Structure 1
């Protein structure tokens, strides 16, 4: 059972739709907190994807990220820096954007299998998919943007390692606190 299921109980279609909309909106807001870098900006998107995965579970998390991508492609300013447009789904950051779907699913999958309790397990459930996000991100930079592998790793992975570790710790502490607050509320 995920934190969202524990907090809200049996979820109707309407409740799930509201979670997707609120999750994609939160992801859009977190995307606005950024440090501009080239070719990939540093933002709180991965923190949002991780929190969504840890709290929603695999399928609902992946659907939430797909909704976020659709919103951005449709012209809503939800991408990093308030940007929008379908061109982002094939531009320099496309590997990361599409990788967010897999990251959300994998984080949710780990949470559904018992890695959603305790800070250390939550950190692992956050860090493993976050590390795997570099695969499509760096691959896209090499195959479609034309960077050689060392340059793609230097531009698309190395600058983000420490920040991603910190975001995984923040997610683990936040979700662990959510479980504790829910337990306290129930007495």
Structure 2
């Protein structure tokens, strides 16, 4: 008997912990959006882009839920933030955030979660090196969308866009990738041990 699920393809860490079903998928998608909203409040104010814990959440949500559920979770995060849930960084919300300088990052989160989830479904998250590479690829995906968006919205030239939207975040993003890259393989080992 097959069970309806938003997840497709190979199982992720969430699938090892909770049986796939539409009901559990809805809970996991909502929890991923909530985690992103929560970590968005770990913020160091900077202009025009603050430093926050959102990207760590994006990487973890994508890897733990897989491509489809991860992307849906981050799309839900963006949609609910636009319609008024104050969970973008520093409790902000509304269309002005998504259409402003940080909007490209929020849109990039969806693509990054999909990519990291896709890689996790191919077992990149089972070993530290693969997980770190997957998470760095997710970060690059965010910037590929966010930086052109930032330049268009602010009118910054290339040098200013990189100074305001990339350089201050590189060290933090590498650290987030290392933390997430260590957490996922460890989680897989703990789940395997618990299943025995």
With the shorter chain as reference, the TM-score category is: over 0.9
Query: Hey, what does 1:7 align to over in structure 2?
Result: 17
Query: Hey, what does 1:150 align to over in structure 2?
Result: 159
- 1:105 is aligned, of 97, 109, 114, to 114
Query: Normalising to structure 1: TM-score of the pair?
Result: 0.97
TM-superposed deviation, 1:84: 1.1
The gaps in structure 1 that reach 5 residues or longer are none
Q: 5 Å matches for 1:29-178?
A: 29-178=38-187
CA distance in structure 2 between the partners assigned to 1:12 and 1:147 by the alignment:
46
**C-alpha RMSD of the superposition:** 0.9
TM-superposed deviation, 1:38: 0.5
CA distance in structure 2 between the partners assigned to 1:97 and 1:68 by the alignment:
9
The gaps in structure 2 that reach 5 residues or longer are 1-10
Query: Normalising to structure 2: TM-score of the pair?
Result: 0.92
TM-superposed deviation, 1:177: 1.6
TM-superposed deviation, 1:161: 0.3
Q: Could you report, residue by residue, the CA deviation over 1:79-134 in whole angstroms, capped at 9, with x for unpaired residues?
A: 00011112111001011110110010011111111212111111111011212211
CA distance in structure 2 between the partners assigned to 1:143 and 1:116 by the alignment:
35
TM-superposed deviation, 1:136: 1.3
CA distance in structure 1 between the partners assigned to 2:180 and 2:93 by the alignment:
26
TM-superposed deviation, 1:158: 0.4
SS at match of 1:142: helix
* Runs of 4+, deviation exceeding 3 Å: none
SS at match of 1:113: coil
CA distance in structure 1 between the partners assigned to 2:147 and 2:30 by the alignment:
29
